[in-house]
Chains A and B, each alone.
Chain A
């Protein structure tokens, strides 16, 4: 399954201050290759669709005209209809929120737990560091899909549970990078100076350590959102995700698989949606990574 290996972000990347402003952002965008711009635009559109699917379609994703089942793509139904007469285009639009939001939720779980553990590990004494590193090893010893299956066996199927499962599986990715960043930053000059000047530990942590440790995180997150989306829709495809009639993309593919012989559109468009979303995030993520490394 396409979960990525741990991204290699150079350890010293991002050290030092960096400032963002709207103007500099626009200027940066203008210098991007067209692929990355396209990806960014696509993601923006996706965000709109996730928030306001009704803006592009007025049909009901959950019901349709039962007498119009399995109609091929045409003027009235751009992506055709499924067996219950539901408009596939509308369902794909509404499906965005499940795959995307759950993918992002899983990412959020990985990030927060990973960062917490990574910082704790990097800052902690030898035993704490060893212990948490071994935890990362244990978590990454299970192939992600199988780990998710194990979690779902215990907790039962459902959107939240698969988000949790995939989130847990993704902890080591972030944990390890944050840990190595923490180890580096901890010895950096400005941290030592802050300590000498008598800043409290919390202050040092929040003001100096975290911003520099966390700089790598958004890049890795963007790169890995794609595999989170695939993981979520994959588990839904297997039947472990949301219940019908939820228009989740993986569920739609599972439903469409049985009628491929007579209705190719049911198996085509949800998959296209997944692939495009993942592609967009991957392209954007790769570009961010390159410019990140280029900043060295």
Chain B
């Protein structure tokens, strides 16, 4: 699988990147066919966004809805190149701490206000302000201020070089709301026409529990460089219906109630693949793979032998192949195989060594057995809990963990206690560091950021110390902090590779599989694509209906 590296190195070195970027953008923008304007479509989607405000949302499945009305400064193409969007061009200072963006001058918010450097400043300042409780603030970790050099020139000043900055700026989470909206300080999570962005669609109506609909923004001329056409959206209206259940979504598409759906379970693929009247599209692997994160500072997991036994005590391949019917590959790292930061040399280096796993546990003293066949030591059962927060359960991942649970019991006598917990319990277990295994994929971001998030001492998993627990792995966290600061991409990749290798080797993580989106649609729907940075289907800007 090829992986694509972003051309940040050239951007850092050369201030005159605008020409390159423009050429690159034009190279990808033309589609094969001209779309037909008019009509409306209905999507069936899995998740009703808990929050429609891009700055506050961290729900992966909400992004494909939010992207309809939110644009970003730059876009990321599928080959990793950053292309112009609301910013025509940009340059980075020699020391890597100042990013100057030349903005387009024809962009307007849905309420008619101009999008300009002041708007950029207002948004970034707002996000960075701790009072705003914006999840996106983690992208602005080194943000100092935005200087308005001209009406359409904005210079962002950082406290230190940030190799992840362009990627962050291409994310929907750093997208732009009208400054008036920000100033109103209303709780924008609940959506509604007060949520004013610049995107190809305007927020029309939200019916809780049912659907959200958007209407076309006729003034839209500032599509990103990776879009299939410039100019306004083809569709007059698009509706996203919330259908949380697989079977329900499949049935809705089969019966024609919706025009396309995202999230098709493997057993339903046969309903659409090669079936007349329908089409099936598979997106790229997500930026992070579905991984079990083990809290190595707590409980039985402090013993590296136990962690390694868990990692190697079951056949990942067989499980993934069986549950997902061969539609997704197993993972070797928590960074996804299509991510430019992926360490390909990890492939084949671990997993499914049951005999060794058993030996490790014997060595660690877990030699007793109880009535159900689990290992015991000093009368205590070898048990680790997986607390899987209910709102994030999707895609048969709980079934996968059940499969692991059964295999571990049979193979090595380890009790992997799966519990579906409420969001409240999960948050609590984070704050008192009582979580033991957390299964997840991450929101798309730069690879260094992602590794920092789940393994670093300033990420969200390991910030709190465990009372009576083990210490953090300073070698690992040191590497992570170093990677975060390293602007030279080649050197950075060496660090990222090492981080992943340590994490897997010391069994802090057990990567499982590399998920991807599957979209099924009626045959007449054209223009379906996937947004690279977002790990999700694109918004409805390029969609059109063939008559």
Contact = CB atoms under 8 A, between A and B. Distances in A.
Interface of A: 60, 62-64, 66-67, 69-70, 83-86, 156, 239, 243-245, 255, 257-263
Contacts of B318: 66-67
Contacts of A260: 247
Given A84-B406, A243-B418, A66 B319 contact: yes
Contact of B245 (A60, A245, A258): A258
A62 B372 CA distance: 11
B409 A62 contact: yes
Interface string B4-15: 000000000000
Contacts of B31: none
B403 A84 contact: yes
Given A83-B323, A84-B323, A244 B402 contact: yes
A258 B399 CA distance: 12
B353 interface: no
Contacts of A255: 399
B253 interface: no
B399 A64 contact: no
Given A66-B319, A245-B406, A258 B265 contact: yes
Interface of B: 245-247, 250, 265, 267-268, 270-271, 315, 318-319, 322-323, 396, 398-399, 402-403, 405-407, 409-410, 418-420, 422
Contacts of A243: 418-420
A239 B419 CA distance: 12
A62 B419 CA distance: 15
B401 to A, nearest CB: 8
Contacts of A64: 406
Contacts of A259: 247, 265, 267
Contacts of A63: 406-407, 409-410
A259 B28 CA distance: 40
Contact of A69 (B270, B271, B323, B419): B323
Contacts of A261: 247, 250, 267-268, 271
- Which 5 residue pairs across A and B have the least CB separation, nearest first? A63-B406, A66-B322, A262-B267, A258-B246, A245-B402
Contacts of B268: 261-262
Contacts of B405: 245
Contact of A67 (B245, B322, B419, B422): B322
5 contacts: A64-B406, A66-B403, A83-B396, A84-B323, A262-B270
Question: From DSSP, what is the main secondary structure of chain B's interface residues?
Answer: helix
Contacts of B245: 257-258
Contacts of B323: 66, 69, 83-84
B247 A257 contact: yes
A60 B372 CA distance: 11
Contact of A85 (B270, B322, B418, B420): B322
B301 to A, nearest CB: 20
Nearest to B319: A66
Nearest to B271: A261
Nearest to A68: B322
B247 A244 contact: no
Contacts of A86: 406
A66 B411 CA distance: 13
Contact of A258 (B247, B322, B409, B420): B247
B327 to A, nearest CB: 14
Given A66-B403, A84-B399, A244 B418 contact: yes
B493 to A, nearest CB: 36
Nearest to B322: A66
A255 to B, nearest CB: 8
A62 B267 contact: no
A259 B420 CA distance: 20
A258 B407 CA distance: 23
Contacts of A257: 245, 247
Nearest to A259: B267
B418 to A, nearest CB: 6
Contacts of B271: 261
A262 B318 CA distance: 21
A262 B246 CA distance: 13
Contacts of B270: 262
Given A62-B406, A63-B409, A245-B406, A69 B322 contact: yes
A243 B247 CA distance: 22
B59 to A, nearest CB: 20
B513 to A, nearest CB: 14
Given A83-B323, A83-B396, 8 more contacts: A62-B409, A66-B319, A243-B420, A245-B406, A255-B399, A259-B267, A261-B247, A261-B268
A162 B315 CA distance: 36
A134 B227 CA distance: 67
A259 B264 CA distance: 12
A67 B403 CA distance: 11
Contacts of B265: 258-259
Nearest to A62: B406
Contacts of B418: 243-245
A245 B270 CA distance: 27
A262 B269 CA distance: 11
Nearest to B390: A239
Nearest to A70: B267
